[in-house]
Structure 1
């Protein structure tokens, strides 16, 4: 059968299983990986091997990065570090620049916490500040969601960018640096700038007071009992600081090329800057700053770590399932078919990666699954074109955020918390996600033109 027909039928079956039959995403991905392998005519024993290899390769490094990342975020959140960051920034920036304060707080917290956790943590703070300042909750909610989404789509150690970096063999620190450069204008466009337009498009949405009951019981913090602002920020950003410093060293000392005869210093910096080691060091630092250093018993700290792992167990399996599907697409020759189809065309591989991720995102809802599948399809094309893998990671990550609608959990969370109608959610949440996607693509194309 034609590889593209098999791919399209496979994606339709995946959509049917997840949306129509409400089947678990991980189970659906594995089933479809087997079906696509059979449809592509792969030897049956090789399909099972591809699925196993795909899951193993995907989760080898990422299980530590995600697991330790979730633990670090949980420690910061449980001790009130995120609460301190948000309140301090809002106090410093004042009422006139509340949106800037919310964006900065969401960006810092968003790097340390997964999207859904960041949203649940920040919304009560946003609601309290909006009430105190006499502004609409949506006026602060849109910039908050924009900052959290950008960190989720562009920046390691988040699931999609970290997983695509591993798939495309991209330098994680470089992804982080490029991601931050593109993230700054993107958050401004989709956050504070779009809020002005959204006010005219959905004025009734800005009159809503939100729905805090959807969040369940809230933990109350007394500001003077939380960790200091500096310590909270440093702990949240510790893995980012380590990876970024390593990349800056490699770019300035060796021009981004690995030396043939590395010195002892080169070896140490490369070791410390690898995502697994950076996350391990950062977690140990967080266990001290948010735990033992605050006289918390080890039992309490370990309890927080266990809770964090429980919260990401299914996410890890979904990423593994995405890896299985990606490997079958590569081993079955679909990636090569994509390469053949687009060889000689003027279409940028970055634009192609973005487009594939957009189509998969619209069909499947999951940004992570869309990103991983797109990575498997464009890998051969990227290797042939000489595009920087770090830029391809951000292009695919951008595409995986576009056009969030009713098959995406984020859509329903935003609607529920801000008490909006479906139409109002589309005109706020869906539009801001699409603005992030387009701005991210434009940013990668500009950087590609500069560095190519």
Structure 2
């Protein structure tokens, strides 16, 4: 497959998805499914492999993200119904002031995002964004985009995220220095792509779509007696704490030992979330006077609006898998390798290409670092730490439609496809572009 044909085919598929969903108003899942199949067939993939490839991609993504969305939504529902989200919102708005809510959400996103995947941090914090926006009469985008930008920056550029750890290994970078430069470079990037961009774009985007998820968090009576701030924050941060414990398991217990296995088990994303959700049933449910029947009703009814999100997230994964299995992404990646460009730019470019091709930031970062790592080993004058950061920046570029995060943002915030491209895709592109620029500038002083 030629590079020109691969680029043309991928571009046609993406344009087709936008037009069919935005202009012809077709069901997004049907569009993603159909376009994925057509792309694979036109690329020359055997017909009997096409559907299998889509199912494998959808299943792989949903195996993780589906559980996260379900558990995170239940936790968010308990946070909302108990008044816990209102308690946090009142405290944050009181400390930060209504005019700086966006900055406060960015800081919260940076802290919560350190140990967790983007999808996990998003479902943990989105109920808080809805309630803060409602209680302070602030546009939802001005609250949610800074939070999302911060989560994306930490996911891509600051260990201990799995993809970042893979890049650390591939480039033989120092963990401490990577965290230092990641915080130093990542913070201004989060500011630019978060509060600054959100203040620019929020007045220009008018959300008119009905939003069942937002309504279940905000359209309800606020309890007369709200839960305490400390216990509420502990409940929402408990999965973060458990994941942090899991990330340091190898440092505090011998690898392969029973304590080590136990720490890794409770630090698993799904286990940490289910334990936190069960905790919320007691702390924000039974202890607040809710009956078991009421808690069951809360946990059942909150899942209804997530059905389409899960379908779209899975379809995005299937679309990405078709691009990979059909050879389209490999043809484009091979062309990038043939270009003689500086190593920092090459690592960034490889991550961008894989990101657009398969949608996953984690796959983009791990793939690009595995390709560029051996090249770095025979090069001089390039900082391994900056290679980690620049690869991470490229891995989130464009926020494409085959990324689970794109459909999460669209459905949770009640945006149309064009609005999501104008907001979230721009946020992700700003992170990628400024990540490259700041890393190139930093390379002048560190090697």
Fold conserved (TM > 0.5)? yes
Q: What residue ranges of structure 2 are gaps of 5+ in the alignment?
A: 114-120, 169-174, 374-383
Q: 1:409 to 1:92 in 2, by over 3 A?
A: closer
**Pairing 1:202-213 to 2, within 5 Å after superposition:** none
Measured after TM superposition, the shift of residue 68 of structure 1 is 0.6
Of residues 383, 390, 403, the one that matches 2:370 is 383
Match of residue 396 from structure 1: 395
The 1-side partners of 2:166 and 2:432 are apart by 22
- Displacement of 1:335 after TM fit? 2.8
1:219 positional shift: 2.6
- In 1, Cα distance between the equivalents of 2:368 and 2:430? 26
TM-score normalized by the length of structure 2? 0.69
CA gap of 1:393–1:298, structure 2 versus 1, over 3 A, is farther
Cα contact 2:361–2:396 (8 A) shared by 1:
no
Superposition CA RMSD, Å: 5.0
Structure 1: how far apart are the matches of 2:285 and 2:336? Answer: 53
1:223-263 deviation line (CA, Å, top 9, x unaligned)? x611111111111222122112322444x459xxxx8x522
Instruction: Indicate conservation of the 8 Å contact 2:101/2:143, yes or no.
Output: no
Q: Offset of 1:186 from its aligned partner?
A: 3.7
CA contact (8 A) 1:350 1:392 kept: yes
Where does residue 242 of structure 1 map in the other structure? Answer: 242
Greater CA drift, 12-21 or 95-104: 95-104
**What does 1:356-375 align with in structure 2 at a 5 Å threshold?**
372=359
String of CA shifts for 1:59-83, please: whole Å, max 9, x gaps.
1232212211111112112211111
Query: Partner of 2:44: helix, strand, or coil?
Result: coil
- For residues 28-427 of structure 1, the aligned pairs below 5 Å read 28-93=31-96, 100-101=103-104, 103-104=106-107, 111=121, 113=123, 117-127=127-137, 144-151=143-150, 153-154=152-153, 181=183, 184-190=187-193, 218-222=219-223, 225-250=225-250, 252=251, 262-344=256-338, 345-346=340-341, 347-354=345-352, 372=359, 380-386=367-373, 395-397=394-396, 399-400=398-399, 409=410
Do the aligned partners of residues 114 and 289 (structure 1) sit closer, same or farther apart at CA in structure 2, a change above 3 Å counting?
A: closer
User: Which residues of structure 1 form unaligned runs of 5+?
Assistant: 128-136, 361-369, 416-421
Q: How far apart, CA to CA, are the structure 1 residues paired with 2:413 and 2:287?
A: 39
Q: Aligned partners of 1:284 and 1:263: how far apart in 2?
A: 27
Task: State the distance in 2 between where 1:96 and 1:327 align.
Answer: 43
The 2-side partners of 1:448 and 1:247 are apart by 29
Q: Distance in 2 between matches of 1:411 and 1:354?
A: 25
Task: After superposing the two structures, state which structure 1 stretch, 317-326 or 180-189, moved more.
Answer: 180-189
Residues in 1 aligned to 2:90 and 2:126: alpha-carbon distance in whole angstroms: 20
Inter-CA distance 294–448: structure 2 relative to 1 (3 Å threshold): farther
Q: TM-score, normalised by structure 1?
A: 0.68
1:397 match: secondary structure: coil
Query: Contact 1:146 / 1:436 at 8 angstroms: preserved in 2?
Result: no
**Deviation (angstroms), 1:31:** 0.7
Deviations 1:289-336 (A, max 9, x none): 111222211121122212222121111111111111122222212232
Q: 1:189 to 1:381 in 2, by over 3 A?
A: closer
Q: Is the 8 A contact 2:20 2:31 kept in 1?
A: yes
Write out per-residue CA displacement over residues 192-226 of structure 1, whole angstroms, 9 at most, x where no aligned residue: 56689x6xx99xx69xxx99x9987833425x611
1:121 deviates by: 2.4
Deviations 1:380-402 (A, max 9, x none): 54432249999856643354189
Q: 2:171 corresponds to which residue? A: none
Are the counterparts in 1 of residues 365 and 392 from structure 2 also a CA contact under 8 Å? no
The CA distance in 2 between the partners of 1:300 and 1:247, in whole Å, is 35
Distance 2:396 2:109 in 1: 19
Which deviates further from its counterpart, 3-12 or 97-106?
97-106
Q: How far off is 1:20 after superposition?
A: 2.2
Separation (CA, whole Å) in 1 of partners of 2:197 and 2:440:
22
